[in-house]
Structure 1
Amino acid sequence: MTTAVTEFEVKALDIDPADLAERIQKAGGVHITDRHMRRYVYDTVPAVAGKWVRLRDTGTEVTVCVKEIHSSRVDGTRETEVGVSDFDLAHATLTASGLTARAYQENRRSSWLLDGVRLELDHWPLIPPYLEIEADTEAEVWAMAGRLGLGPTDLTGENTAAVYARYGIDLDAVTDLRFPA
């Protein structure tokens, strides 16, 4: 199944994951899963700034997605995504079609659900953990942020590359992003 949607999402950076997990749980949130995720990132052909192809294995599903960043606002990202059956085979297929992976990336994610809003406690190599709040509408995102005690100045709509840039790291220059062994 293919979907094309606007993401409604913000991030709270440099968080204490245990504190936020406790806040989410006290508010009635349910812990869904902890997982190790991996992805390849490919430039489009021709390369377009703010647009790329992502192949991701979440541990429970594998997807290919075209991501388009239009702004750093809560609704600034559009995704067109399709499920695939095999991470390695999809990577081989994308490579055979002429796309070259510019990076391999990993992260760890603790997923929560609270009143239909997806809350992701993300750990990425080289930067402090952050919380993603993703919902079906912008109003739900802001309401959940407030419910968790987070105000607009605590949040950003920036994508992961922009978050890395805040810490002085050019994510586009990192071709292999893994946790230390």
Structure 2
Amino acid sequence: MPIEHEAKVLDIDPDTIEQRILDKGGRKLGEQLMRRYVYDIAPGVDRKWIRLRDNGNETTLAVKEITSDAIDGTHEVEVTVDDFATTNALLEMLGFTAKSYQENTRASFTLDGAQLEIDTWPQIPPYLEIEAATKEDVIRAAELLGYTEPDLTGENTIKIYAHHGIDLNTIRELRF
């Protein structure tokens, strides 16, 4: 399964980070509402799951597996699918029941070959996600914005919610 090289900077001010990205030569790609269904592959196994996501322009289906909280600790296989509702129905026919529906907003940017996302989720402070081809590229993009490697986390959204005392696994619908 391919490795995803990404890290997050937690508890950011979105306006400040957006300005830093633009000041360093980054380009804003747009903002969108993200909708997703999350499915357990095996009940109670939190490190591997199916995600069906729609961003208003594209719908993708992915299997994600967390091997560690490191920048290179997430593995993902993702494909584009035609329709959010139909793919959900197909997964249900295959025996997968969505354990949750989740929404967040995302402002997307590019900077020095990295993909940057300012993610805003219900009930927690916004965070910056940096994804690039290698771990070193992620760290370099973070440094352009004034962050060092210790400022970065590879933790997934479930763990980020847990930092705020919220068990995301118990929330069936997460909406604004």
TM-score, normalised relative to structure 2: 0.97
Quote the residue 2:121 is aligned against.
Answer: 124
The superposition leaves residues 111-159 of structure 1 with CA deviations (integer Å, 9 ceiling, x where unpaired) of 0001210000000000000000100000000011111001123221101
Report what 2:63 is aligned to. 66
Kept in 2: contact 1:165–1:171 (CA 8 A): yes
Contact in 2 for aligned 1:24/1:148 (Cα 8 Å): yes
1:86 and 2:90 correspond: no
Amino acid at match of 2:19: E
The question of whether the paired residues in 2 share the 8 Å contact of 1:45 and 1:99 is answered with no
| Structure 2 residue 150 is the aligned partner of structure 1 residue 153 | yes
Is 1:143 the counterpart of 2:140? The answer is yes
Write out the 4+ residue segments of structure 1 that deviate beyond 6 Å after TM superposition.
Answer: none
Instruction: Please give the residue correspondences for 1:22-41 in structure 2 after superposition, counting only pairs within 5 Å.
Output: 22-41=19-38
> 2:13 & 2:45 partners in 1: Cα distance?
35
Q: Partner amino acid for 1:11? A: K
Q: Which runs of 5+ in 1 are unaligned?
A: none
Q: Letter of the aligned partner of 2:174 in structure 1?
A: L
Partner of 1:110: 107
Conserved? CA contact 1:16–1:129, under 8 Å = yes
TM-superposition CA deviations, 1:80-129 (whole Å, max 9, x none): 11110000000000011100100000000000001210000000000000
Q: How many angstroms apart in 2 are the aligned matches of 1:174 and 1:46?
A: 16
1:43 touches 1:52 (CA, 8 Å); kept in 2? yes
Tell me whether 1:5 sits opposite 2:19 in the alignment: no
CA distance in 2, matches of 1:46, 1:15: 33
Give SS of 2:41's match.
Answer: strand
Unaligned runs of 5+ in 2: none
Post-superposition shift, 1:39?
0.2
> What is the CA RMSD across the aligned residues, in angstroms?
1.0
Structure with greater strand share of residues: 1
Q: Report percent identity of matched pairs.
A: 53
Matches within 5 A, 1:90-101: 90-101=87-98
Alpha carbons 1:23, 1:148 under 8 Å: kept: yes
